[in-house]
Amino acid sequence: MQVSRFFRYLAPNLITLSSMIFGLVSLWSSHNGDTPLAAWMIIYAVLTDRLDGLTARALKATSELGMQLDSFADALNFGIAPAYMLLCYLERRPDLPYHDGGTAHYLLFAAAGTYMLCAIFRLARYNIIADDEIPTKIFFGFPTTLTGGLIAIWMLVLLKYDPIQWSTAPFGGARLFGDHLQTPLNVWKYLPIALVVGGYLMASSLPMPKVGMTKNKIVGFSLLALVAIGYVCGFAMHYPEICFWMPTGWALIFLIWGQVSSTARGMAPPALFPKKKDGHLERAQEDLPDVVFDENQSPPG
């Protein structure tokens, strides 16, 4: 392999692999009780998620390996890390019913597990869809990046305004909403429901336009400005109450749009269990013969 070609393909894959370090640090921070850092690391992963694809296209270095690495990174950063973050935080708080075990604790674990499995199901489903079946202007179901990022940024906002955890040492800059605004205790109690809803939205086929798909220059410029502000605040780990507006608004607006728009309802999502690509015959796992063959022998079929 030529040296220039090697480094051309290495660059986007290194970005993908480095983003997985953010997921690892998030898990480590959740385990150690540093929930704000855990959430910010998920935001870091969101902010770098697009860079590998942009780099690959700019260098003409897209590859099957890159796609698989990106899928593994998304599973860790937006499937496992957010679920583990909420699981660790909620079960540590003595003022919540998840702390002392019992039914509530098991329901929390079930909610985290549901979210994680739905994220991985979504990623696996779209990994085996042929390129010509993947829609270019719309998502079917919430992308894992958006869902994991929403959980992380809302976690940061709730933590910042929580009277128990952060009244003496607020993080992420000044409280833009004022000191009078406080996170109600009941919000923490119902967060496991948010995990289940997030899991359903990822596994569903609800239509949602991709960001940036607009011909309106004013809207396009506004989106670009919001994205730029989000990158600055995100990497600076400041003002989560600024960062949460765009993804939350986008999700709510187009969640409604997908239900009322005749155009959206007329779009057919990819099959729930798509056929294999590259012309291979679809074959159910239970129909495969139980054949044992020598490692030096070619497998059947």
227-274: pLDDT as tens digits: 777 777 787 788 888 888 888 888 888 788 777 777 777 777 777 766
Q: Which residues contact 84 (CB under 8 A, 6 or more apart)?
A: 26, 27, 30, 112
CA distance 54 to 56: 5
Q: Which token pair is 167? A: 């009244």
Convert the pLDDT of each residue in 29-48 to its tens digit: 999 989 999 999 999 999 88
CA distance 91 to 216: 46
Residue 159: C-alpha distances to residues 34, 53, 153, 168 (Å): 11, 32, 10, 12
Secondary structure (DSSP) of 140-169: ES--HHHHHHHHHHHHHHHHHT-TTTSSSS
CA distance 253 to 108: 28
Higher pLDDT, 168 or 83: 83
Assign 194 to helix, strand or coil.
helix
The pTM score is: 0.82
Can you give the pLDDT at residue 118? 95
**What's the half-sphere exposure (Cβ side, CA atoms, 13 Å) at 61?**
21
Q: Which token pair is 128? A: 């085996």
Q: Which token pair is 67? A: 């796609």
CA distance 22 to 30: 12
Q: Which token pair is 176? A: 């833009």
Convert the pLDDT of each residue in 63-115 to its tens digit: 777 788 888 999 999 999 999 999 999 999 888 889 877 889 899 999 999 99
- Tell me: pLDDT of 174 over 50: yes
Higher pLDDT, 251 or 279: 251
- Tell me: pLDDT of 291 over 60: no
Query: Closest Cα partner for 248 from 151, 176, 150?
Result: 150
Q: Which token pair is 249? A: 């608004």
Report for 130-139, 182-191, 221-230: range of highest mean pLDDT: 182-191
List residues bridging with 211 in a β-sheet. none
Secondary structure (DSSP) of 65-129: HHHHHHHHHHIIIIIIHHHHHHHHHHHH-TTSTTTT-SHHHHHHHHHHHHHHHHHHHHHHHHHSS
Name the average pLDDT for the chain.
79
